[in-house]
């Protein structure tokens, strides 16, 4: 990803804030879903970003450090594993995104949301499938959300080291599933997610 998408460029020329929205942890068996709302500005245009899933750990960490160093404005929203069990992962993902946007406390913005589901704010919302590979604002949000959630899983792994969460990030790898069957789920595992 070299330059902001044309839509982002046009929005930057307007008076509206350009806010990229993305989440991490939707398919995990453990912990919260984490969303980030990232406000794009001219100081971040030089930073090379992409979908956090595509970047190596080293490149992701470097991009995160650069984004933080520009004093970029972003907020985080969470939906806990218990909320995911109560309202399902789709609604929990939207809830996390809504919480992230609410913390920005802005009234004039366009939200560029990764995926095909609007989240129901009073702001303009544009959904973009694979937006984290097309828009700098969304890619930046994905990186910050990913780094944040990985940190949370690292802390959970220190409490419950039996599941190798620091490496599998809670996703349903063969080893992770075998460890759940051996030790049973931790209090942070999502009860409604089926293991196969």
Q: Where are the domains of the chain?
A: 6-158
Question: What is the DSSP code string of 13-57?
Answer: HSSSEEEEEEEE-TT-SBS-EEEEEEE--GGGTTS----TTTS-H
User: Is CATH 3.30.420.10 the right assignment for the domain spanning 6-158?
Assistant: yes
Q: What is the mean pLDDT of residues 81-86?
A: 97
Contact 19, 40 (CB under 8 A): yes
pLDDT beyond 60 at 4:
no
Which residues are paired to 78 by β-bridges? 34
Long-range CB contacts for residues 147-152, cutoff 8 Å, separation at least 24: 147/52, 147/60, 147/61, 147/64, 148/24, 148/34, 148/36, 148/76, 149/24, 149/25, 149/31, 149/32, 149/34, 152/31, 152/32, 152/34
| pLDDT score recorded for residue 60 | 87
The residue written with tokens 């806990």 in the block is 80
**pTM of the predicted protein model:** 0.90
pLDDT digits (tens, 9 = 90+) for 19-69: 999 999 999 999 999 999 999 876 666 666 666 677 778 888 888 888 888
Which has more confidence, 121 or 4?
A: 121
Position 127 scores a pLDDT of 94
Q: Is the pLDDT of residue 94 over 60?
A: yes
Is the pLDDT reported for residue 182 higher than 80? yes
The pLDDT tens digits for 115-173 are 999 999 999 999 999 988 888 899 999 999 999 999 999 999 999 999 999 999 999 99
Task: Out of 53-62, 79-88, 100-109, pick the least confident.
Answer: 53-62
CB–CB of 94/120 below 8 Å? yes
Q: Which two tokens stand for residue 75?
A: 């907020």
Which string of DSSP letters, residue by residue, matches 125-185? EEEETTGGGT-HHHHHHHHHHHHHHHHHHHHHHHH-GGG-HHHHTT---HHHHHHHHHH--
User: Which of 88, 69, 67 lies closest to 145 in space, CA to CA?
Assistant: 67
What pLDDT does residue 43 have? 65
Helix (H, G, I), strand (E, B) or coil at 6: helix
pLDDT at 59: 86
């Amino acid at each position: 990803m070299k330059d902001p998408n044309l839509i982002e460029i046009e929005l930057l020329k307007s008076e509206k804030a350009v806010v990229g929205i993305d989440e991490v942890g939707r398919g995990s068996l453990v912990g919260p879903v984490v969303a980030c709302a990232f406000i794009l500005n001219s100081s971040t245009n030089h930073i090379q970003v992409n979908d956090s899933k595509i970047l190596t750990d080293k490149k992701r960490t470097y991009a995160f450090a650069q984004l933080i160093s520009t004093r970029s404005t972003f907020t985080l929203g969470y939906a806990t594993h218990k909320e995911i069990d109560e309202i399902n992962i789709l609604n929990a993902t939207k809830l996390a995104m809504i919480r992230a946007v609410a913390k920005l406390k802005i009234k004039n913005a366009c939200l560029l949301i990764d995926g095909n589901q609007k989240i129901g704010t009073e702001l303009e919302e544009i959904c973009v499938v694979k937006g984290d590979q097309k828009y700098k604002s969304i890619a930046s949000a994905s990186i910050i959300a990913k780094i944040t959630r990985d940190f949370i899983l690292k802390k959970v792994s220190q409490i419950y080291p039996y599941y190798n969460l620091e490496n599998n990030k809670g996703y349903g790898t063969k080893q992770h599933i075998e460890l759940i069957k051996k030790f049973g789920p931790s209090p942070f595992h999502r009860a409604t997610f089926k293991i196969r």
